[in-house]
Amino acid sequence: MSAFVQKTENNKYFLFAVEAKIMDTVNINRRKITKSALIQGICFALCFFTFQLAEFTVNDKAAALIGVSSVNAVYSIGIACTAVGFLSFSLARRLFQKDSARRVFICIVGAFSIFFTVQILFVKTQLIFLISSFLLLLALGHISGCVYYNSAMLFDGKEYTGRIIGVGMGCAVVMQYVVQNLFVTDAAFLLSMVFSVAVLLYIIIKPSHDWILENPLPYSSENKTDYKTATILVSSVIIMSLIIGLIDGVVVSKHAQGELSVSSNARLFYAASLIAAGFISDINNRKYFALSTVCTMFFSTISTAFMANSATFFMGTAAMYIYSGFYVMFLTLSFIDFAPKTKAPTLWAGMGRICRSFVISFTAVPVVYIFEYFGSSSLVMGSCVLSIAVLLILLKDIISAMYAQKDTAENNDTISNENALNTYCEYYGFTPRETEVFEKLIVTENGNQEIADELFISRRVLQRHVASIYEKTGTKNRIGLYQSYWDFTSKK
């Protein structure tokens, strides 16, 4: 490291001689929302919108075509198909190694989703309707898996992920509310689906970064999955899903019977909750995120108690949606944050949705019978027990987050040259491979081909790493990267 320090000292004077007046804004950090992030946020919003719209439409059509008593069973199988769709995306990336093949395949999946959308609107045969509905949800699950993976890769290390995703999902719920209340026609549903899927596919096949459809770059393929963290996340999401499942099945059943409308004004609480959860999650690096999610679980208990009385059903539904917003954001953001640090980001990015879908699919039918025969008190008791279980699982993480010190790069008044490189790389969220590339860019004056040869990677792969480093640091070239680094260390 001493050779590194000596070399960088020489480069410092060289840089000041070459470019004395460099723009003050060169040290743009990971807090600034980029155009790529906004585009991906729109993509995420459309993904969530299409899934929500399709899910509710399938349930409504099933009630009319097959019968009210069958809706929960259709809902159960359909949501399980969504989970299979997420899993199929990870499998497809293994089967199709070339990005051109992946582009063609995702377009085929999108085309089939439109075809199945038309089928569920116009077919009158129950069997064809069921097959089309399940395949539609499977196709949308596959597309969603791609969107979640892209988001995990693009937002890694960013401090605005929660706001982008929360606002996007909140807007998606509002769009669904508008379509289902103001434009209640098959034509409006079809046009909404066609437009949303078309825009989704366009953004996917022309991504903000050329690595999205190819290999999971600029992230290291040498990452090791932290199975302890994975177990905590999966366990907490499964139990949270059981809590929401105690209410969800009852709500679906009562909506099918006409006793309530899931697209009523109470659903706007869901949109508000998603947005609030997104903003809270971004405070001090998720400091209050788990705590706020656990606190809102008590709303699930309130909502379950109110479900038994038609006069208080609106209040119960609103309380359910408040918890649902934080719950959905937790299962989404937790795995989007976690995925890039694993060996299989294509799988882990959507693991929250996978767990949720399978759990809800198993609870949607039996919970209706529990509610009918044992009343709401049994669901309230079950919700309380499960809430305590989640609290115990997350308690250590909640306490650690509350008493954690701020990021080292923001608190240390002084920083030694020996630790400067590591601190800089941690501050900007570099991956292990990006750290290696960054050190070569700073320490040596070698060109891209020479650095690629030293690291045993292709020039194209190196260029992707360099592009990612430039975006994370807000720089545009190697000179700017030098200046950003020295500005960072001099401030410390």
102 or 165: which leads in pLDDT? 165
What's the pLDDT band for 309 if we cut at 50, 70, 90? low
The stretch 35-50 carries a mean pLDDT of 88
Query: Is there a single domain that holds both residue 435 and residue 321?
Result: no
Q: Residue 431, by phi and psi: left (phi above 0), alpha (psi -120 to 50) or beta?
A: beta
Any idea which of 31-40, 95-104, 134-143, 165-174 has the lowest mean pLDDT?
Answer: 31-40
Q: What is the pLDDT of residue 76?
A: 93
Evaluate whether residue 485 is within a structural domain: yes
What's the pLDDT band for 22 if we cut at 50, 70, 90? very low
Any idea which of 49-58, 129-138, 187-196, 204-213 has the lowest mean pLDDT?
Answer: 204-213
Kindly report, residue by residue over 372-402, the tens digit of the pLDDT.
787 777 777 888 888 888 888 888 888 877 7
Evaluate whether residue 5 is within a structural domain: no
Query: Is there a single domain that holds both residue 178 and residue 259?
Result: yes
Query: Is there a single domain that holds both residue 355 and residue 435?
Result: no
Is pLDDT at 132 greater than 90 in this prediction? yes
Q: Read off the CATH number of the domain in which 426 is found.
A: 1.10.10.10
Evaluate whether residue 17 is within a structural domain: no
Q: What is the pLDDT of residue 419?
A: 67
Kindly report, residue by residue over 114-129, the tens digit of the pLDDT.
999 999 988 889 999 9
Average pLDDT, rounded, for the chain: 80
Evaluate whether residue 22 is within a structural domain: no
The pair of structure tokens assigned to 468 is 């990612």
Spell out the long-range contacts of 63-72 with Cβ–Cβ below 8 A and sequence spacing 24 or more: 63/256, 65/124, 65/126, 65/129, 66/126, 66/129, 66/130, 68/256, 68/257, 71/252, 71/253, 71/256, 72/249, 72/252, 72/253, 72/256, 72/364, 72/365, 72/368
Query: Is there a single domain that holds both residue 198 and residue 177?
Result: yes
Query: Is there a single domain that holds both residue 186 and residue 284?
Result: yes
Q: What is the pLDDT of residue 379?
A: 77
Query: Is there a single domain that holds both residue 303 and residue 174?
Result: yes
Query: Is there a single domain that holds both residue 59 and residue 203?
Result: yes
The stretch 339-348 carries a mean pLDDT of 87
Q: What is the pLDDT of residue 310?
A: 65
Cα–Cα distance for residue pair 101/110, rounded to 1 Å? 14
Q: What is the pLDDT of residue 90?
A: 92
pTM: predicted TM-score of the whole model, two decimal places? 0.77
Q: What is the pLDDT of residue 187?
A: 83
Query: Is there a single domain that holds both residue 303 and residue 438?
Result: no
Q: What is the pLDDT of residue 404?
A: 60
382 or 339: which leads in pLDDT? 339
**Number of structural domains found in the chain:** 2
Single out the residue in 371, 403, 435 at which a domain terminates.
Answer: 403
Single out the residue in 365, 383, 403 at which a domain terminates.
Answer: 403
Q: What is the pLDDT of residue 281?
A: 92
Kindly report, residue by residue over 252-284, the tens digit of the pLDDT.
877 777 777 776 777 889 999 999 999 999 988
Q: Read off the CATH number of the domain in which 369 is found.
A: 1.20.1250.20
Is pLDDT at 357 greater than 50 in this prediction? yes
Query: Is there a single domain that holds both residue 426 and residue 305?
Result: no
Sign of CA dihedral 165, 170, 175, 176: positive
Q: What is the pLDDT of residue 133?
A: 94
Range of the domain at 365: 35-403
Evaluate whether residue 305 is within a structural domain: yes
Kindly report, residue by residue over 206-256, the tens digit of the pLDDT.
754 544 444 444 444 555 677 888 999 999 999 999 988 888 877 787 777
Q: What is the pLDDT of residue 30?
A: 53
Query: Is there a single domain that holds both residue 180 and residue 226?
Result: yes
Query: Is there a single domain that holds both residue 70 and residue 189?
Result: yes
Evaluate whether residue 29 is within a structural domain: no
Q: What is the pLDDT of residue 297?
A: 82
Q: What is the pLDDT of residue 4?
A: 44
Query: Is there a single domain that holds both residue 356 and residue 476?
Result: no
Cα–Cα distance for residue pair 78/130, rounded to 1 Å? 9
